[in-house]
Amino acid sequence: MIGRIGNEDVEAVLEKLNISPCRNLYILADLIKYGPDSGTYRFFFSHSETTGAINWVMMRYLDTAQLVVFENAEIAGITDLLGDASVVFCDDRSCEIVSECLSIASIETGWVARLDKDFPVEPGNHCISLSEDFDEIAKLICTDDVMGRINTCDALSSSIKHRYMLSFVRSYVIEADGRIVCHAASYAETHGYAVISGVITMPQYRKKGYATSVVRNICRVFQSEGKDVYLFWYKDEVSRMYHKEGFKDVLKWHKIFLSASLHS
């Protein structure tokens, strides 16, 4: 049976998602934070009417979808729920199962990594601060090829501001020459973990250690709060920095870009 997740379903869904949080970090955090009745975040699932076993869970947000598949059942129904989605984010197991029923333009593969190192509380080499300049942050993030493909600056700025107002995003930046030149943020947080994302440095300011400094700073903050720290990476040159800082890859992750024929 496929349908929207209701208040009566939340406990069972959260129990399933918590079995392996790294497979569904954003779905889990957003369902805890916003609940099933959020107009911005829409949660769907498939479950057995006889046993109650959950087959898969999907979260729709703007033109994206986060998906985790537990059992290969009612997979074809996922296509109907994707609607105008242009990209699906999911782990390797889910990608293998769901790709059979999707019209795929391309797939970008990366990894989910978890911090496996303690950072001492010590001052860094650069001045790092929390920022509420959402427009400037969004412009910087959208210079990334992939992020620029799936976001507009205005939509991303609005999303960051919305999550910030709900105490769900903290953006840390380094400024130089009167502008933001490096950024990293928590894009999802629970009591037990935080997800780092939006790590980016202006091209002309790279090779100065800015990204390393801001990532170290945000990791110290989360560890001081007793949270596990996760992030996603897709490029080998970026992964080298994260691995050097103590992140260990825990599972393969995919961005599935859907072809236009899905919506025709």
Q: Are 162 and 194 in a shared domain?
A: yes
Q: Are 238 and 147 in a shared domain?
A: yes
Q: Are 129 and 103 in a shared domain?
A: no
Integer Cα distance of 20 and 224 in angstroms = 23
Q: Are 18 and 89 in a shared domain?
A: yes
Integer Cα distance of 234 and 239 in angstroms = 8
Q: How many domains does the structure of the chain reveal? A: 2
Integer Cα distance of 59 and 75 in angstroms = 15
Percentage of the chain with pLDDT > 90? 65
Strand partners, 45: 3, 57
Q: Are 258 and 191 in a shared domain?
A: no
Integer Cα distance of 76 and 194 in angstroms = 32
Query: Which two structure tokens, joined as six digits, stand for 216?
Result: 């170290």
Integer Cα distance of 2 and 258 in angstroms = 22
pLDDT band at 1 (very low <50, low <70, confident <90, very high): very high
Q: Are 14 and 87 in a shared domain?
A: yes
What are the start-end ranges of the H helices in 123-203? 134-141, 145-150, 153-165
**E strand spans, 78-169:** 87-91, 104-115, 128-130
Other C-beta atoms within 10 Å of 228: how many? 16
Q: Are 27 and 147 in a shared domain?
A: no
**Residue corresponding to tokens 């001052």:** 123
pTM: 0.87
Q: Are 99 and 131 in a shared domain?
A: no
What CATH number corresponds to the domain at position 21? 3.40.630
Q: Are 46 and 124 in a shared domain?
A: no
> For residue range 106-123, what is the model confidence (pLDDT) as tens digits?
999 999 999 998 876 555
Q: Are 135 and 164 in a shared domain?
A: yes
Percentage of the chain with pLDDT > 70? 94
Residues of the domain holding 200: 117-245
What CATH number corresponds to the domain at position 163? 3.40.630.30
Q: What is the dihedral of CA 136, 140, 142, 147, to 10 degrees?
A: -120
Q: Are 78 and 150 in a shared domain?
A: no
Burial class (CB in 10 A: 0-12, 13-18, 19+), 261: exposed
CA distances, 243 to each of 8, 34, 118, 201, 238 (Å): 41, 32, 13, 18, 9
Mean pLDDT of 79-85: 91
Q: Are 133 and 227 in a shared domain?
A: yes
> For residue range 211-245, what is the model confidence (pLDDT) as tens digits?
999 999 999 999 999 999 999 999 898 899 999 99
